Structure 1
Amino acid sequence: MHTMWKGTISFGLVNIPVKMHAATENKNIPLRQLHKECESPIQYKKTCPVCEREVEQDEIVKAYEYVKNKFVILEEDDLKAIQKEQTDKAVEIIDFVKLEEIDPIYFDKSYYLSPNEGGVKAYGLLRSALRETGKIGVAKMMIRSKERLAVIRIYENTIVVETIHFPDEVRQVRDVPNVPEEVETGKKELDTAKLLIDQLTTTFDPKKYEDEYRTELIKLIEEKKGNAEVVTGKDKAKKPDNVTDLMEVLQASLEKAKKDKPKPRQPKRRTTKKKAK
């Protein structure tokens, strides 16, 4: 499993060297967009509408649009200056809480943690302590130059870092339109709904759930491949460069000049008159 981050978990005076690995992966089937007319892949280029040309990466700066079409430019040095130091890339546990106290809406992405060199014993200590107390750790960490709030918990036999949203990143439910207040519900309807829930209640088993759309999409793709329903993207026709264009113009001009060049006049032959006898 690919190691995407190395650092330490710290709680109190205990520091645990760890490696971080992505716990989940995106299984979406990537679909490309082709030009229907010639079946070539569509390209997306960064262009400047004012200069009317493609822009290279080193010509691009970051900016914040505080009102429509008004920007504050932020240089890389400015951004680095306000970033917190990532000394040893520490995941600092601030508090310990119960997992059920955190609503699932806060959870974002999961990462597995494995012990790095010299961290096996301390790793086992934290794992046992979390398991015995039934608590999870609330921590702060830096990922890709961004400070993240996270929880440290146990999944099966592995310590997991679960990034969670800051409170101001969760939108207020009062802003959701058309949510009704308490609705009067008939006892018969409510009892029937509760009975249906009871009948469908089971123990959660993630293996029983499948992405049916992805399965059918893969099947469709394989069928089309088997029936040779495939196309080959065409290469972009190479546009003659300026040198080639110039040579063609010069050659054409030379040919035209040859045709238009007046032929040299032939000298008139002198005719000898015969003397009269």
Structure 2
Amino acid sequence: MKYNTATKKKLYLGAGLLVASGIAVVAVLAVSGAFATPAPEHQNLFYHALKINGEYVPNGVFTTEWKNFYERHKRNARTLRLNQEERTDLFFEQVIDRMALQEYVYSRAGDAASDERVAAYIEENIGSLYTTREEFNQYLSAEALAGEEDLEREVKFYLARLAVLPDIAREKGITLTEAEIEQGKSGKMSRDALLMQKFLRSPEFVQWTAELRKNVTVEILSPAILAFRSFQDGNYNEAARLYREAYQRYGVDEFLEKARESDRLAK
């Protein structure tokens, strides 16, 4: 997608813009390691790990959703008490929720999330803020975006949600207080943007997205996720097989250790 750079401050986009650190964020979701520290050996853990309606979920979606997951749970004592496999499984469910929502809003947003609207939004709200490629790279890295395509995808998702979710929120009885409206004015947020934000944080949204999931076909392809779920279900022979498959695919020693543990429990 091409952008008009005739504004006072230019948006530097091009082949050399890709940020190498973007995909590495997904590495946090490994079986071992700190909650917020990337582990390079796990960078491919979610490559072709999930299909929604027959389409692979891009690595960039996992990366962006991990940032959202971390921000949401970094002070959640219950989440922090989970081991890495449990957190990974919880995160995986968040990605499925995001994709179910994406399918829904894309089918209803119409021209509100067109390529032209996406380009205009980036030009007006993002591109004009950065004068150098280095500054823009830093922005992308901070947002866990690997480059131009990831940025366009996330802006499209935002615009589609903004076009669809406020009406759903109103149907669910979500309203804004005067204080929230005034706070939004100071932050230059529209009422629809405020209402969407409030809806996204509500119990009504959780219930609604649970219904959305029934309308998509989910195919879990990650042997690591499938192994963990088999282990949790007490299907230790299947867990051992899948953990070995995960070890062969990713080369992560913890998976081989879990395969051996599964073998012991299966006897």
Greater strand proportion: 1
Greater helix proportion: 2
TM normalised by structure 1 equals 0.20
TM normalised by structure 2 equals 0.20
